[in-house]
Structure 1
Amino acid sequence: MDANNFYNEKDQVKSEDYLFVDALDFGTTYSGYVFSSRSEYRESPPKIHANQAWNAGGCSLASMKTPTSLLLDSEGEFVSFGYEAKNKHGSLVMDGASDNYLFFSRFKMKLHNRDLLKEDTQTPDISGKPWPAKDMFTKSI
């Protein structure tokens, strides 16, 4: 599909109204993203940008993807995602403070059971605490 001719009938918006195009790879184990500006696309369609700043647990190991892991506080407020969420959760466990947080990891597979996936679907964090799946996925994105 030619991105310059994309037309969204529902919103009545043409592609020239958008400054950027992005793609999310929301994976079972790892997630990532890429993006391109409209002007760069017109000049060089294959030119895209990807995040290369995720540090995989140490400053010497960089990754273009990050774990599909989400950390929320006890009120459900976003704390962190990816490597940062895994590292912070590990520290909380070591300090005995993880009960005040919700940690979700490798949760994408919940989407595959469409019969059970409803507006009010609950999904457990790794300790079994239920949380609205819609909120968890929204905060991950």
Structure 2
Amino acid sequence: MVAVSLTLSLRSSPTRARQYTATTACLLTDATGTAPGTSAATAWSEMQKASLRSRAKIQYLPINGPSTTQNAVPYLNTLTQRQCAVIVATGTGPVAATAGNAHRYPTITFIVIDKDQPQQHNLVSVSAANNAQLQAVLQQAIQRHDA
């Protein structure tokens, strides 16, 4: 009696995990998050494109409750504690909280989606309708932090 052993070897290509840089870019939104048709959805889409080009990690955090400055500040602080090198803010409360507190975090680049905010040392204001400008500012900020 002869025993025959048949071994089927399934070879699959190893799954390659995406290699990220140490830079993290974060989006702070109002309670609607990245709902379609919002400036946050547009910003998130542009951040995804920037991440593909630069390999920076991206994440977003919607505030809970009303879109006020006072309500948004703890969420902004959370992103700074998460070591976000670039923080993009959309919505009334998040933009006001970011503009009012950017000076406290000189090593972080802040981008607010609001054409009426004055520029600061580490804060750039971008119009919601200007995707190309947002993409350029994001790329420059990520590259600066990757260096």
The interval holding the TM-score normalised by the smaller chain is under 0.3
Which one has the largest radius of gyration? 2
Greater share of helix: 2
TM-score by length of 1: 0.25
TM-score by length of 2: 0.24
